[in-house]
A = this chain, B = another copy of it.
């Protein structure tokens, strides 16, 4: 995660039903925030799970991680920073950073793979994904 990376910033506010009896956001809900960041990234940068679908691929999540530094509470404003990791592997890797009032709340990562119409794992990057990378200046 560095600021030269292709990224997006999504501004959100903690909702009441996302908090648990400890008065903080329940840990599993951060993956909802990461998803909102990822969707927002996809809309802004012109790529989405619907593009993959249109091209005959599913892109299931195969790995998720989150490291918590500080809690968020009901009503807190925060931003999800979503970074695209330009990997050579046939994977879609995003890293996330959640910031609130200038403080680091958590970091995270999701890894997606490509599955073709026969439910087989795709070992090389699909063309539509390489085209998108070229368009974004990530590869030549």
Contact yes or no, B58 A22, CB < 8 A: yes
Chain B nearest CB from A94 CB (Å) reads 13
Known contacts A20-B17, A26-B17, A32-B15: A67-B71 contact under CB 8 Å = no
Chain B nearest CB from A126 CB (Å) reads 18
Residue A116 at the chain B interface, CB threshold 8 Å: no
Majority secondary structure, A binding face: mixed
Chain B residues, CB < 8 A from A29 = 28
Contact yes or no, B63 A71, CB < 8 A: no
Closest to A31 in B: B28
Chain B residues, CB < 8 A from A26 = 16-17
Contact yes or no, A66 B63, CB < 8 A: yes
Contact yes or no, B31 A27, CB < 8 A: yes
Contact yes or no, A19 B17, CB < 8 A: no
A64 touches which one: B19, B65, B74 (CB < 8 A)? B65
Chain B nearest CB from A63 CB (Å) reads 5
Residue A138 at the chain B interface, CB threshold 8 Å: no
A-B contact pairs, 19 of them (CB 8 A): A15-B39, A16-B21, A16-B49, A17-B32, A19-B21, A20-B21, A21-B21, A21-B23, A21-B74, A22-B58, A22-B60, A27-B60, A27-B61, A28-B64, A31-B31, A60-B71, A61-B68, A64-B66, A65-B65
